[in-house]
Amino acid sequence: MKKTRLSVFAAAAFLMVYSLSPLFGADRAPINVNLIIDCSASFTAAKAEITTWINGRLDMILKDGDKVIVWSAGASSRIIYTGTINGQSDRDAAKKSVSDLTGAGTSADLSGALRAAANAQSDFSYTLLISASPTALSSLLSGPQSSLMRFSRVEEFSGWRAIVVGLNMDEKIKRAAAAFFQ
């Protein structure tokens, strides 16, 4: 009798774990990845560390079908790379665009890049903002685009920060809350 219960319990545990495995290995829908990089002179001092970190992060995040937009935020913000990932060569092209960046000047238009990324956002995007300049980040946080930083997570490094920004989350949260309470 004990052997049967143990067998039934083991089988049930196996089925439960096995039924959850598709959740962890499931393919996800393609996403838009916005990578906004502070290209003020402050970037130069930390460029090697930032580039290595970003390349590792892109390897973890990017899947085939994802769209990548890399922004250079210097005196003004501009897109330096746009592409859809369809293999290793596309990943390498996105990484090369980051490696080719140089820092100059005292300002970084993080606000402009973040605003443009928010306006162009589709269903789901992953926005990563790299800031090497405390002045540029302070300007963003005290300016009119500060509300875009409402849902964000900061990872601090020596001389720079990586900030994952949840763009346009207000409406999604309101819809989810309304659906939950109905």
SS3 category, 52: helix
Task: Please report where in the chains the tokens 């020596």 appear, as a residue.
Answer: 158
> Rounded to whole angstroms, how far apart are CA atoms 30 and 33?
10
Write down how long the chain is: 182
State the fold for domain 32-173.
Rossmann fold (3.40.50)
pTM attached to this predicted model: 0.74
Lowest mean pLDDT among 9-23, 65-79, 88-102, 115-129: 9-23
CB 74 within 8 A of CB 146: no
27 pLDDT tier (thresholds 50, 70, 90): confident
CB 85 within 8 A of CB 91: yes
Q: Residue 23: what are its φ and ψ, rounded to 5°?
A: -65, -35
Taking the CB of residue 1, how many other CB atoms lie within 10 A of it? 5
Which residue from 116, 114, 125, 124 is spatially nearest to 150, judged by alpha carbons?
114
Domain coordinates of the chain in residue numbers? Answer: 32-173
118 pLDDT tier (thresholds 50, 70, 90): confident
Q: Residue 174: what are its φ and ψ, rounded to 5°?
A: -60, -45
b/e burial code for range 126-163 (CB count within 10 A of at least 16 → b): bbbbbbbbeebbebbeeeebeebbeeeeeeeeeebbbb
97 pLDDT tier (thresholds 50, 70, 90): very high
Higher pLDDT, 20 or 182: 182
CB 43 within 8 A of CB 37: yes
Which residue(s) pair with 9 in the sheet?
none
Under DSSP, the state recorded for 143 is: S
